[in-house]
Amino acid sequence: MTAPDVTISDVIPPACADWLAAHPEWAPIPGARYYEASHRGNGVRSLDRTVNGRRLKGRTLSASVSGTSEYPKTRITRDDGTPTTGSVHVFVLAAHAGECPEDMESLHGPGGSLDSRYCGCGTEDCTEGNLGYGTHERNVRETIEAGNARRPATFPCINHARCDGMAVNEGSRCGPCAVKVGERAGLLLTAGMNSKAAAKLLGYKSDSWVVTLASRHGGYAGTLAQARTQRLPWWQQVMATVRYHLSRGDGQ
């Protein structure tokens, strides 16, 4: 008995099948015509080319995760001759979804940081893509949700009596409370308060984490070094402290 033919639409949603059928896997990276990125998670490749009289054969480029980054990176050469090291997912999105719109950033879905598949079907039941563009707020929310999914929140938030939330680590804040701290830290640091003074006011030992929260949730645009060197006159610091306490209507 002959086995029935299986088509791509039998194993993935029809919208995904239609998009994949209409879009070749490899597409050129903008500004780097000798390089292409795969929307199926197969990375970046170079093309056969001649550079300064030398004939170079195309190949799939190696990618690695190093340093503090959790995203695979690879190295290409731009059309102007500039060598560039960048994240694979950034190249994939640029090649298949276009340049990142203003006020947005690249997002990873449930597949995590190593899954660089992209599908432009635009449907909620998409199973073939993990990358896309979105707002910073959405990126933060999905990062928190993904972290909580990997490590269940089993400890009461230190503000549990007020927020009824659960945290991943004992003696820490739940996601919503951490967001509120970041918003308040952003206000304090943007007003000019020193990061160590802000950390003390917010009940944190590490001012670096306070600056991180302020950047993520409070719109603070400065660096840790800048936050540490900020100096408010004593009377402005008192006023900022008073305003902070008055704003804590929820007591957190």
SS3 content of the chain, % helix, strand, coil (to 5): 40, 20, 45
pLDDT of residue 246: 65
Residues 38, 25 contacting (CB under 8 angstroms)? yes
pLDDT at 104 over 80: yes
Q: Give the start-end residues of each E strand in the chain.
A: 26-29, 32-38, 44-46, 49-51, 54-56, 73-77, 83-87, 105-108, 131-134, 155-156, 166-167
Q: The tokens of 174 are what? A: 């739940």
Alpha carbon of residue 120 to chain centroid: 19
Confidence of residue 68 (pLDDT cuts 50, 70, 90): low
Residues 107, 131 contacting (CB under 8 angstroms)? yes
pLDDT of residue 4: 44
pLDDT at 3 over 50: no
Residues 132, 116 contacting (CB under 8 angstroms)? no
CA dihedral 240, 244, 247, 248 (to 10 degrees): -170
Confidence of residue 7 (pLDDT cuts 50, 70, 90): very low
pLDDT of residue 251: 42
- What SS3 state is found at 86? strand
Domain residues of the chain, as ranges?
12-49+57-144, 176-247
pLDDT, mean of residues 9-38: 90
pLDDT digits (tens, 9 = 90+) for 213-236: 888 788 888 888 888 888 877 677
pLDDT of residue 105: 92
Nearest residue to 129 (alpha-carbon basis) of 108, 152, 104, 114: 108
Residue with token string 């230190």: 158
Residues 35, 28 contacting (CB under 8 angstroms)? yes
Check residue 230 and give left, alpha or beta (phi > 0: left; psi -120 to 50: alpha): beta
pLDDT at 118 over 90: yes
Q: Which of 80-89, 104-113, 241-250 has the lowest mean pLDDT?
A: 241-250
Residue with token string 């980054």: 69
Sign, CA torsion 178/200/171/225: positive
pTM of the full structure? 0.57
Q: The tokens of 106 are what? A: 């690249």
pLDDT of residue 121: 94
pLDDT, mean of residues 126-147: 82
Confidence of residue 67 (pLDDT cuts 50, 70, 90): low
How much of the chain exceeds pLDDT 70, in percent? 85
Nearest residue to 117 (alpha-carbon basis) of 104, 127, 102, 103: 127
pLDDT, mean of residues 115-144: 88
pLDDT digits (tens, 9 = 90+) for 160-198: 777 888 876 777 788 788 888 888 888 888 888 888 988
Q: Please report, for residues 93, 98, 100, 117, 184, the alpha-carbon distance to residue 30 in angstroms, rounded to integers and kept in the order given.
A: 10, 8, 12, 18, 40
Residue 48 makes CB contacts below 8 A (sequence gap 6+) with: 55, 56, 57, 58
Q: Name which residue leads in pLDDT, 230 or 48.
A: 48
CATH, domain 12-49+57-144, list 3.20.20.60, 3.40.50.2300, 3.90.75.20, 3.40.50.300: 3.90.75.20
